Amino acid sequence: MSRIERCFKALRSDGRKALVPYISAGDPTAQQTLELMHGLVEAGADLIELGVPFSDPMADGPVVQKAAERALAGGMTLAGVLALVSEFRASNSSVPVVLMGYLNPIECMGYQAFAAAAATAGVDGVLIVDLPPEEARDWLDALSARDLDPIFLLSPTTSPARIERICADARGYVYYVSLKGVTGAAHLDTDAVARQVATIRALTDLPVGVGFGISDPQSAKAVASVADAVVVGSAIVSRIEAHAGEPKRMMTEVCGLVSAMRSEMDMIE
């Protein structure tokens, strides 16, 4: 059983939902990313999505795009991201870490080489935004050989037939993009999310995480009431950007938001 599976199993037994913060590796610095990872866990994160900076992040809105640009300007690389995970694992062996990014850097490293390095570092799953499962057989084989979970996206326009097809290859959980748009978009419709999550659950036993458009404790609670996991990205990354020059305040602001979300989510009856 993978760390991700154990995480969701434990949460289900406690009647709780997963809180999954996203941060971009290397923003504002590698050391601060590591400190943020530990701080997020202390604030109530159950799983961490760690962004791999890329120069053309097509699924991301301006907030996360700028974070990637800052990280790349600071010298962050795919190898550097894996080194961060390895450092995190030196003192945390339980919280799952999922890398989220784009195909190009991984393809340059090579699927087998990446999977081996990721497993050694302590990565648990990988979400590649621009690699559809229809073109992912070699990728899936490489991950499977190293017991890494492939995470896939589902969207409001994904048909039931394709949901079933995608979920057949996914492991760990599936990530439902709640909006037609990029990260950081607004206008979250929780009733529509609830309907689509019900459709997904009828087609897979995998946990369903929901992201995009979750910006405050109230929206986190609303989504947690219908999904298995709440993924929060731009709301966190925007606080990192706003307070990048004040490390202590940045940590307070980011962890305060995550802690407030955790508290609201735990109030679901």
Q: Cβ(78)–Cβ(117) under 8 Å?
A: no
Burial (0-12, 13-18, 19+ Cβ within 10 Å), 199: middle
Q: Which residues contact 23 (CB under 8 A, 6 or more apart)?
A: 33, 36, 37, 40, 48, 49, 50, 51, 67, 236, 237, 240
**Per-residue DSSP letters for 175-221?**
EEE-SSS-TT-----HHHHHHHHHHHHTT--S-EEEESS--SHHHHH
Give the DSSP H or E segment for 151.
Answer: strand 149-154
- Catalytically active residues are 49, 60
Q: How many other CB atoms sit within 10 Å of the CB of residue 198?
A: 11
CA 17 to chain centroid, in Å, comes to: 15
Closest CA relative to residue 231, chosen from 162, 178, 160: 178
Radius of gyration of the chain, Cα coordinates, nearest whole angstrom: 17
Give the DSSP H or E segment for 21.
Answer: strand 18-24
Q: Which two tokens stand for residue 172?
A: 């760990």
